[in-house]
Every structure is written in structure tokens, then in C-alpha cells.
Structure 1
Amino acid sequence: MKTKTIVKTILILLLSSRSLAQIDLNFPVIKAPDSTALRNNDNPIIKTSLNGIITASGFYQDGTFGMGDGAITMWANPIQPKEKQNQFGGDLRKTWIILKATAFNLPDNWTATGRVELDFLGGMAGQGGFADENPTPRLRIGYVELYKNSTRIRIGQAWTPMVANFPVSVTHFAMGYGAAGGIGFRNPGLFLYQNLNRKNANTKWRLDAAVFRGSWTGGAGEPGGRDAGEIGIPQSEVGLFLENNTKKIKWEINAVAHYDEKEIYNVATETYSTLRGRAVQIGTKVTYEKFSLQANSYWGQAIAQSWGNLLQFGDIQGNGAWGQIGYKFNKRLSTWFMYGYDNPNDRDVVEAIQGNSRLKNQIYVPMIKYDLGPLSLALEWFRAETKWNVVSNGMTTIKNTSANQLALGANFIF
């Protein structure tokens, strides 16, 4: 076993997981043991870490949002308060706890890792006057992984390839953009990540491929009560990721395709029909000195399970996109502006959804951010403008609503 080769391989893999950030979403990685420890030990060396992000925010709102207020705002609800619009609150639910363990020095130059990630968006413990202060935990990520040379194999629940990058945010990070052109989710499945470039290449290439559990809701279930997505063809995605950080202008590009089939049961005819989910996504990120720009766009059909079509389940086509520009005044102070929209086909939505339905949503998020190492502070304004098809007493009307939130947030990444 060549110690230098093992150490070099491990370090390259760790560095590549940080730079092509979809794998680990930029949380700290476990450092490999030094060459002496590897050379003097023929047994596996297991290292563990406790990581996470503590997020706290206080906010003011002049309206109500779906899927909730505070840090999980998505769109403006169809009914907004006419009186007493002012609302004040605080939110801690976007706190994550991450447990990781990595086994080095395995036979045949393999390395194994495991990861479990929890947050507190799973609801509240009980009801009543103290429920708001007692959020319950929820499993986000849980997987085991093997990697060797340029190949990673992951089994468990992980981010799908569609989750290429998120807008920069303190209060609303990793949430709120499924209603503004950001699609993808975390699902249990089998994931492959394959680096395609030479070790010393300036431009890094990575191919991601995943097959993961189907999911769907809406409509009538079959007599056995099975999920329509689970009896179809599992979801699958293939993505290509490129980046070059060796020049003055640093850039990243991603392109991902999605396919699945759901088997929808018709109670009246006792027959099944196939509903195909399809989507393509392209995105980019460019950094030049103090400026940065990132953007994603998608087209999709029947992909509500991946947060597309404004989370409306049916045979609905649609498209969406978001973009964010940032400028760093210095190492600590920066300003950002993000805009995003999701625009499902109106006719598809009305045919698929009974009752009130969302026809379009736009969000605007300017932010001032101040960084102190692992601690970030930010003042964010989140504005949602939503177009609704409202059904009342058998009559349908088009209604445009809006809501604003001003949040002061802090997060600490460790």
C-alpha cells in the first residue's frame, strides 16, 4: 500500500468535494490523517465530527405567506389581512445538526463515510401556548458513501443532482426558492459522482447520476393505498458540472436532466394511466474580483415532487428561473439582490387543481450581509407577488396578492 498515493488521493477528493459544492453544500469536511498515522497503522482509522449551522432570525411582516411565516416563506397567500397587518416573530427552525464519520485506511484504497443531518422544521411538540417554542427534529440527510480515486458511490437520502446551488441568504437559505425557479429535493436512492478531469486540470468536470425513490400525491390512490410514484419508474437524474477557479474570472456551469413515471389510478374505471415527469435545468456562477453572479433556470412537467410547478401536483408544464448578483465592499460587508419566478401553464393548473391554485409567483430579495468568520449577520427584505386562480361559490376570479417580510438574521456555521 503506497502511503503517499493514498494521502494524495484522499486530499484531492476532499478538495473536489468542497469546490464542486453540490455534494457537501460547503460544510466543513473531515481532514485525512497525516501520512505517519497511515503508515504506522494497518487498521481502519475512523474520524468523526459534529458540524452544523445555528440560525436565528427576528422578522416583521405585513402579510401572510405559504408555506408559513418566518424563515419558510414561499408565496403570498390568496387572503391577506385587511386590518392589523403588522406581525412580529422569531424563528430558530432552520438550525441544522450534522454528524459525520469517515473511515480511512480501508483495504484496496477505499474510504468510507457516513452522514446524518437533522433540522427542526418537523413541526411543533404539541399544541397550545408553548408549542411555538418547542420545534421537533426532522431527518434531512442520511447516507453512507464509498469513494476511491475519482469515484464516489452514495447510498441513502441525499440531495439530488438538480440541487446544484442555492442563492446566498442568511434567513432563507435552502428554502423559499422552490417557489421561485429553484427545483430539486433530497430523496433516498443510489448516487454516483464521477470526476472526469485529470488531477492537474484547470477545468474540473464531474458527472452525477442518481436513481431514487418515486414520489407523488394528489388524485385518488389505488385500493392498496400505494403512492403513485412508487409503482411507476423511479426518478432518475443525470447532471454535468464544470468549473474553473484558476483564472481571474472564476466560473461554474451545471446542466441536469430529470425523468420519472407515476402510475395514476382511476377509481371509476379501475385502470392506471402513466404520468411522466420531465425536467431540464441549466445554471451558472461567475465571480470576478468583488462581483458575483449566479443563476438557474428550468423547464419541467409533472415535477411537483421536486418543488416545481409551484408545488402543485398534476400534469402541469411550467418554467422558472432565479438570479442573484452580489458585491463585496470588503472581506466582511457585502450586498446582494435576488429575483426569481415560477410560472406554470395556467390552463394546466386550472385543469389539475381543484379550488384555489397558483398561476405565477415572483420574489424579490435584497440583502445586506456582514461576515465575521463563521458568523454571518444579514438584513433581508423578502417580497412575494403571487397570481392566484381563486374559486368561491362556484365562480373563479384571477387575484394578485403580495406580502413583505423584513428579517434580521444570524447564522453560525461550524
Structure 2
Amino acid sequence: MSSLFFVCLSGGVGTLAYGESVEDLKTQMKTMQDQMIQMQKNMQALQNRINQLETAPPAPQVVAAPEIPALTADEVTALKNLTTFGNVWSKYNMKLYGKVKVDFNYDTAEFKNYNDFIGCVAKESDYENDSTDFNPRDTRLGFKASHKWDEWSAMAHIETDFYGDNSGNNLIPRMRLGYINVGYEKTHTSMLVGQDWIPVSQLNPSTVDFGILTAAGNLWWRVPQITVRQELGDFQVLASVMKHRRTDTENEDRMPWLLTRIQYSDEILGKGGLVALGGGYRNADYGQDSSDNADRWLICGELKYVTGPFTLKGEIWTGEGIGRNFLRYDLDMAYDNDKAEYGEPASAYGGWADLTYAFNDKTTMAVGYGFDNPNNGDIGDYTNDRRFTRNEQYFINTWYSLSEPLKVGAEYIFIETERHRQIHSGNRFTVSMQYVF
């Protein structure tokens, strides 16, 4: 830097020698000083940058991406199939649903059938004893899978509860529903194959009790069947073959129930209202070896009428040989007192009705009555806990929704069972909580 100053000074003297004034020389000196100051700043900035580079960590090594081999033709096809069809959850419309329901019962009589839900009062003379029951068995779990193609649709439906055969608190799941339903939209035709609710006498009373007036006027059960339904405007017509699964290969029990039903629905009956007439025939027996078959038949009518906050429902029926396929065990065959054995099919008639009032979106109340009246002569001298000459139930209940899925209810039921001159009665008081999802 001193050499540079000397050269510059020599140049300045030389310039002065050629006649430049002192003022000119001072101006040049000032310019040179400013340039030297700026040069020092630039040199310091450059040194600082060098120091930063020397103390900085080493730069990361960039690894080249590995070469990916091309997919084979089979792999490309498999990938396309996976993309097109997806997995089982995306291929079909899936729905999981259920409910948890717990009933707390106080009974003033012995209800032999069916303990957790009511059928009729026990036959034994000391039937009057009070007891309580904490019952969670009406808890349910169901699953539906469905899909459509062209003008066709299909659905598989499975539902369980915990009313399997068992004792104590080891509650065994059982299949309530298990069927496939195939529909053709163009003609509004469907076919159901599997276990579903019976296709006639389809309405059920609005009881809190799981039994829904069992053996007290309501024909119901869930039975394996093949049922074809046809929609014709406001009408629906069905034809069905229905029969419980075989439990003993020794039974000569072959012919299923042949059933038919015609239903009319119109806005004059209110939303969801209907009137229906159904019937069925079966020539069969539950006996063993070479027991004779018997002609069994059924005629039943249904009505549901909705107006404002009121819903009126009811059924009436009559027939002969109406037994276990309609949850009327031990009531289908007449008893021959002279031969002390079962004879011809027993005739009977019955029905039920209830009225529900919705106070608002949260609170409802229902009252109802049902009766089952077998022919006294057909029942004969042989009676048991499920075999009677008349059985009646009266009920009143209410439900209150705490939220959309959660509600609590209470119910009172009076039951009176007649076996010729013997009349036994009892009461059931129930408080229930239910969560539906």
C-alpha cells in the first residue's frame, strides 16, 4: 500500500511539474483517499466471507436416486385391477349399525316363558312371587353390504342379538337376520333369500318389552324363507315359501308354509300407513316316524294409520295349526282326551292394537292390548306353561329422547293367562335405557 502511495505521489509531483496548481493537487489527494477507504472496506468484506466459508460445516452429499426397474406386464395388469375395483370397503356400500339396550324389570308373578321377555303366566299354583331382572340381552349389532350394477341391486344383511340359548351372564350371540335381497329396478321386483321377519302379519306393537305381545295376539318370528315382492304403484304383492331350519332329521317335516300378501299404501293412510291382507297354507306335522301330516292355514289382516301426532296399528288373524313358525309353541295341535294324544290341528284366533301419541320430537306415549284365544275344546285337558285357553296383555309406556341416539323409557304390562277354569295374572314394571347407532 505504501508503494501505491509513492507511485501516486510521484505522479502528482510530475503533474505539478507540468504546471498544475496546489488546489488541483489537493483535490486529487482527496479523491485518492476516498478510493483507498472504499478499497479497505471491500477487502474486509472479502476476508469476512472467507472466514465464514472456512468455519461452515461440510455441505451434505447428494445421493442420486436409484434407478427403478420398469413394471412387468402382469404387474401393470394387477395394478389396474386394484385401482379399478378397490378393496372390499370401497367396492360396496357398507353400513354398520346397532343398539345397546338394558331393561330393569320388576315382576309380581312367575313368567316361565320367556323369563327375560313376557309370554304368559306360569301354570303352577304358587306362581305369585316377586322378582327383579337386569336384562341387557336386547343389545344388537347389524351389518349391511350392497352394490348396484346396470338396473340390478343386491344387499346382504346380518343382524345379531344376545338371546342365544345359555344361562347366567355368558350371553351368547345368535343370528336374528341373515339374508340376501336382489332387486330389479326396471320392473320393481325383488327376491329375498335367507332368514328375515315373517312375510305376513308384518306389523309389531310398540312395546318396550322385547316380547312384543308374544302369545298374546301378535304373530311374529324370524324364519328362513324365499320371498318375491312386486311393486305395482300403491300396491305390493308377495309370494313366499317359509320354514324353520330342521332340528331333527327324524322328523317327517317337509312342506314349508306357502304364503301370500297384498298391501295397499296411500297418503290417505298417512305417512307409512298401510292396509294388508295375507294368508298361508301348509300340509305338515312335527311328529316323528310315520306321523300323519295335517292341513294348516292362516288368514291375517293388518292396518296402520297415521294422522298428525297419532299412529294407530293393529292386526287380526285366525287359522288352524298355527305353531312354532309364528312363535306359538305347543298351541298348534288339538289334544284328544279319549286317546290322550295329539289329534287334529287346533283352531285359534287373536289380534292386537296400539295407539302411539308423539307429544313432540322427544317424547312419545303408547297404549295397547293383545289376546290369543285357542279353541278350548282343541286345547283339551293337556295344558302347560305355554299351552293355554286364553292369554291377554295390556300395556302402557313412554319414551323420552335425551339426545338423538340416547333415550330412556318406562312401561307397565298386565298379563292374564287362562287355562280353562284356572286364571293367573301378573304385572311387569320396566325401566329401560337405549343407545342406537
Task: Please give the range of the TM-score, normalised by the shorter of the 2 chains.
Answer: 0.7 to 0.9
Residues 144 and 62 of structure 1, relative CA distance in 2, 3 Å threshold: same
Q: Secondary structure of 1:78's match?
A: coil
Alignment RMSD, CA only? 2.7
Question: 1:300 Cα shift?
Answer: 1.6
Aligned pair 1:384/2:407, yes or no? no
1:243 aligned to 2:262? no
TM-score, structure 1 normalization: 0.75
1:255 to 259, 277, 299: 277
CA contact (8 A) 1:56 1:410 kept: yes
Deviation, structure 1 residue 244: 2.0
Return the alpha-carbon distance in structure 1 between the equivalents of residues 295 and 196 of structure 2: 23
Per-residue deviation, residues 355-402 of structure 1 (Å, max 9, x unmatched):
66311000011112213423332110111100025xxxxxxxx21001
Q: Which amino acid aligns with 2:163?
A: L
What residue in structure 2 maps to residue 322 of structure 1?
Answer: 352
The answer to whether structure 1 residue 404 and structure 2 residue 423 are counterparts is: no
Q: Distance in 2 between matches of 1:96 and 1:82?
A: 32
Higher strand share: 1
Q: Structure 1's 123 and 274: CA in aligned 2 closer, same or farther, altered over 3 A? A: closer
| SS at structure 1 position matched to 2:380 | helix
TM superposition shift of 1:308 = 6.1
Following the alignment from structure 2 to structure 1, what is the Cα–Cα distance between the partners of residues 206 and 322? 25
Higher RCO by CA contacts (8 Å cutoff, separation 6 or greater) = 1
Of 171, 178, 182 in structure 2, the residue corresponding to residue 142 of structure 1 is 178
1:180 touches 1:363 (CA, 8 Å); kept in 2? yes
- Decide whether the 8 Å contact of 1:214 with 1:235 is kept in 2: no
- C-alpha separation between the residues in 2 aligned to 1:110 and 1:249? 27
- The 1:209/1:301 distance shift into structure 2, 3 A limit, reads same
**Partner of 2:133 in structure 1?**
89
Q: Rg: which structure is higher? A: 2
Task: Please give the alpha-carbon distance, in whole angstroms, between the structure 2 residues aligned to 1:192 and 1:205.
Answer: 14
**2:121 aligned partner, one-letter code:** A
**Paired residue type of 2:133:** G
Distance 2:317 2:262 in 1: 15
Q: Which amino acid aligns with 1:53?
A: K
Q: Which residue pairs with 1:226 in the alignment?
A: 250
Question: d(CA) in 2 for partners of 1:78 and 1:136?
Answer: 28
Q: Which residue is equivalent to 2:367?
A: 337
Shift of 1:304: 0.8
Contact kept, 8 Å, 1:215 with 1:305, in 2: the verdict is: no
- If each structure's helix is expressed as a fraction of its own residues, which one has the higher value? 2
What's 1:74 paired with?
Answer: 119
Runs of 5+ in structure 2 lacking a partner? 1-82, 334-344
> Quick one: structure 1 residues 140 and 227, their matched pair in 2 at CA, closer, same or farther if it must change by over 3 Å?
farther
**Code of the aligned partner of 1:192:** V
> What is the match of residue 240 of structure 2?
210
CA contact (8 A) 1:181 1:308 kept: no
CA distance in 2, matches of 1:62, 1:239: 40
Name the CA shift for 1:146/1:348 in 2 (closer, same or farther; >3 Å). Answer: same
Per the normalisation by structure 2, the TM-score is 0.71
Which of 202, 211, 214 in structure 2 is aligned with 1:178?
A: 214
Q: Secondary structure at the match of 2:202?
A: coil
Aligned counterpart in structure 2 of residue 99 of structure 1, from 140, 143, 152? 143
CA apart distance, 1:248: 6.0
Aligned to 2:231: 195
Query: Taking structure 1 as reference, are residues 412 and 254 closer, same or farther at Cα in structure 2, changes over 3 Å only?
Result: farther
CA displacement, residues 303-337 of structure 1 (integer Å, 9 cap, x when unaligned): 11233656424111000010001222222112111
Q: How far is 1:263 from its partner?
A: 4.4
Distance 1:160 1:82 in 2: 33
> 1: CA distance between counterparts of 2:285 and 2:201?
25
**SS of equivalent residue, structure 1 residue 306:** helix
1:306 partnered with 2:325: yes
Helix, strand or coil for the counterpart of 1:184?
coil
Cα displacement (A) at 1:354:
6.2
Alignment partners' CA distance in 2, 1:248 and 1:332 = 21
Aligned counterpart, 1:127: none
